[in-house]
Amino acid sequence: MKYFILTGEVSGDLHGSNLIKEIAELDKHAVFKGTGGQYLSNSGMEIVLSIEQMAFMGFWEVVKNWNTIRKNFSILKQAVTAFQPDVLILIDYPGFNMRMAKWCKQQGYKVVYYISPKFWAWRENRVQNIKKYVDLMLCILPFEEAFYRKHFYTKAHFIGHPLLDAITVTASNQNLKKHIALLPGSRTQEIQSLMPIFLQLAQRFQNEQFVIAGMTSMVNLYPADLPSNMKICFEETYNVLRQSKAAVVCSGTATLETALFNVPQIVVYRTSWLNYQIGKRVVKVQFIALPNLIAGKQIVPELIQQDCTAENISKALNTLLTAPLEDSYKLLNEKIGTPGASKNAAKWIQQLQERN
């Protein structure tokens, strides 16, 4: 069968690659096409648009790049029509993917959403569109299935978190703790906002070694002239975390990755004034860090917007270095489930195909 996959983020690229490997085990004639990056490409999927061409986040960034986004819609609609897939698999990236879900369903395609949009955090009424346009919702956070049931949507299923598979495979030698990891995010505006603060942080801790987990696709965004106690390792996030005694992490999937490596962390985030003003009025959750959301209470510190300063991060980092919070991850590990999310997702997708 033919599968068209749509994602616009690095985490979706990783999880999508593991998913198509599991689908290929069940469907020996599977053919894959869609949007993605290095992981999906290396897994054998034909790339129509790269994630670098689609990575726009926040109200103002979407407005500025609306012509490019409209062009991307047009390109992908043509690609889907020409490919005639048996199923479309949308991975997170809700601003774009929900529009594609509507169009795809109207064209008569089966639509699977892998990694639920965070509708439980804001604009909860968008669940009505899920009910209209999505044939199967695969949830990776333990409370999401109940959220959909509350809205009388019975096609949502908790499958576990795919990071458990990736980190189970790659984690080793976790006793080598010698530096502080800096994870400034995977989007242009995140890196631009956080790197100046990270440089100040390194100056405040001259006796510590800092390692930035960098992305080659964003190489021009990292400073060329770094302090002597700071370096960049590209495309080695897990190796960087494996050897870290603490971390400062941009809010997102990386916060959960850091927790699964048992690295004490501070979660940080800064965005434009406009994005923040809009966000704080619509977001309903108490926390933004995934470990805190899953645990249902604050187990890692969060420094957001005006609180995200070198001074505040320094204070929190001193606390982590003198009294690590690794034991706080126990509650998270109890709630997040077990490995096998990608395999579970592939089985659900095959069952959807068999029922029709």
Per-residue pLDDT tens digits for 222-244:
998 999 999 999 999 999 999 99
pLDDT for residue 323 = 75
pLDDT band at 287 (very low <50, low <70, confident <90, very high): confident
Please report the domains of the chain, with CATH numbers, ordered by start residue: 2-162+340-355 (3.40.50.2000), 167-335 (3.40.50.2000)
Q: What is the mean pLDDT of the chain?
A: 88
Pick 85 or 306 by higher pLDDT: 85
pLDDT for residue 280 = 56
Per-residue pLDDT tens digits for 21-54:
999 999 999 999 999 999 999 999 999 998 877 7
Average pLDDT over residues 240-266: 93
**Three-state secondary structure along the chain?**
CEEEEECCCHHHHHHHHHHHHHHHHHCCCCEEEEEECHHHHHCCCEEEEEHHHCCCCCHHHHHHCHHHHHHHHHHHHHHHHHHCCCEEEEECCHHHHHHHHHHHHHCCCEEEEECCCCCCCECHHHHHHHHHHCCEEEECCCCHHHHHHHCCCCCEEECCCCHHHHHHHHCCCCCCCCEEEEECCCCHHHHHHHHHHHHHHHHHCCCCCEEEEECHHHHHHCCCCCCCCEEEEECCHHHHHHCEEEEEEECCHHHHHHHHCCCCEEEEECCCHHHHHHHHHHECCCCCCHHHHHHCCCCCCEEEHHHCCHHHHHHHHHHHHHCCCHHHHHHHHHHCCCCCHHHHHHHHHHHHHHHC
Pick 69 or 189 by higher pLDDT: 189
Compute and round to an integer the Cα radius of gyration of the chain.
20
- Report the percentage of the chain scoring pLDDT > 90: 63
- 333 vs 167: CA distance, rounded Å: 13
- 35 vs 38: CA distance, rounded Å: 11
pLDDT band at 9 (very low <50, low <70, confident <90, very high): confident
Whether the pLDDT of residue 74 is over 80: the answer is yes
- 190 vs 99: CA distance, rounded Å: 24
Whether the pLDDT of residue 177 is over 90: the answer is no
pLDDT for residue 172 = 47
Put simply, whether the predicted model's pTM sits higher than 0.75 gets the answer: yes
pLDDT band at 68 (very low <50, low <70, confident <90, very high): confident
Average pLDDT over residues 274-289: 64
pLDDT for residue 273 = 57
pLDDT for residue 284 = 64
- 233 vs 5: CA distance, rounded Å: 29
pLDDT for residue 204 = 96
CA–CA–CA angle 349, 355, 356 (5° rounding): 100
Per-residue pLDDT tens digits for 130-176:
999 999 999 999 899 999 999 999 999 999 999 998 785 444 454 56
Whether the pLDDT of residue 57 is over 60: the answer is no
pLDDT band at 129 (very low <50, low <70, confident <90, very high): very high
Pick 216 or 53 by higher pLDDT: 216
Whether the pLDDT of residue 62 is over 60: the answer is no
List the structure tokens of 281: 């009025």
pLDDT for residue 170 = 47
For residue 34, list its beta bridge partners: 5, 47
pLDDT for residue 56 = 56
Q: Hey, how many other C-beta atoms are within 10 angstroms of the C-beta on 2?
A: 15
Contact 22, 342 (CB under 8 A): yes
pLDDT for residue 64 = 62
Pick 20 or 324 by higher pLDDT: 20
In 3D, which of 327, 171, 320 has the Cα closest to residue 242? 171
pLDDT for residue 322 = 86
Whether the pLDDT of residue 205 is over 80: the answer is yes
Q: What are phi and psi of 107, to 5 degrees?
A: -85, -5
Per-residue pLDDT tens digits for 90-121:
998 888 899 999 999 999 999 999 999 888 77
In 3D, which of 213, 218, 215, 217 has the Cα closest to residue 198? 213
In 3D, which of 287, 282, 308, 285 has the Cα closest to residue 299? 287
